Structure 1
Amino acid sequence: MAIVDVGVSPDGAMEIPEPFNEAGWYRFGPAPGAAAGTAVVAAHVDTTSDSAPFSQLKSISPGTLVTVRREGAAALNFRVTGVELMAKDAFEGASIFRREGLPQLKLVTCGGRWLDEQQNYGDNVIVTAVPA
């Protein structure tokens, strides 16, 4: 799936590309392949009529290989170390958007229970991967 760079929306959250077949890389943080910190890539889990590519994140197994292809540079391989659900109302941004520490890739999408009153999911699915 194509990855485009994104910033911050007016409500202070990370922007998510509108097309369901694009993911957004948080351009104010480390890029995939940086020597330190966490590269964050997020996308929609579904549309009103179909599943999106990130809909499979909740089922990914530790050890799975994730490849990030970069224009004009070698592809990067990451190995999944874990998958977690984080409640949106208790979202811990400091644990996701790190500029220091060991390099990681975090893949983020919506998940958990659908909340009719909010027209949104109650959780985020967060996949953590390290350089392979």
Structure 2
Amino acid sequence: MFTQDDFEQLIKNYNEDFIYLLIRASQQSYECLISSFMMLKDLHNAIVKFQASGKFLFRILPYPLSFRANDDLLRTMGFNDEEIRNIYGFLEFVKETQGKEFEECLKESVYNLCKREPGDQPWRMRSSVPL
């Protein structure tokens, strides 16, 4: 049975994964960050649904799921000015490589993501099933 302690551990894990995602962005390691963000988005949605069920309390708050965070929050997470610029730079990287805004990409399939350069073909899994 899923308990309040399990819920809190889920939030801790989500927060750690979100910070790791921001660390990758802060170091300009942008490859496949959109798909990583999409997985975190699903986890964040699950956390919100668990809490909305009325059975669990937010004793630990999940970080807001956004690359458009404010500078003060990012500083409290330990990021310096250059790292914060790199995090915001990810949004421009997405626009250049995907041809659309970050939020628009989140509505698409993960298979259309993970481009390295503008004009790259989307990543595809090898499959015997025709797409």
TM-score normalised by length of structure 1: 0.30
Looking at secondary structure, tell me which structure has more strand per residue: 1
Which structure's relative contact order is higher, taking Cα pairs within 8 Å and 6+ residues apart? 2
Task: Choose between structure 1 and 2: higher helix proportion.
Answer: 2
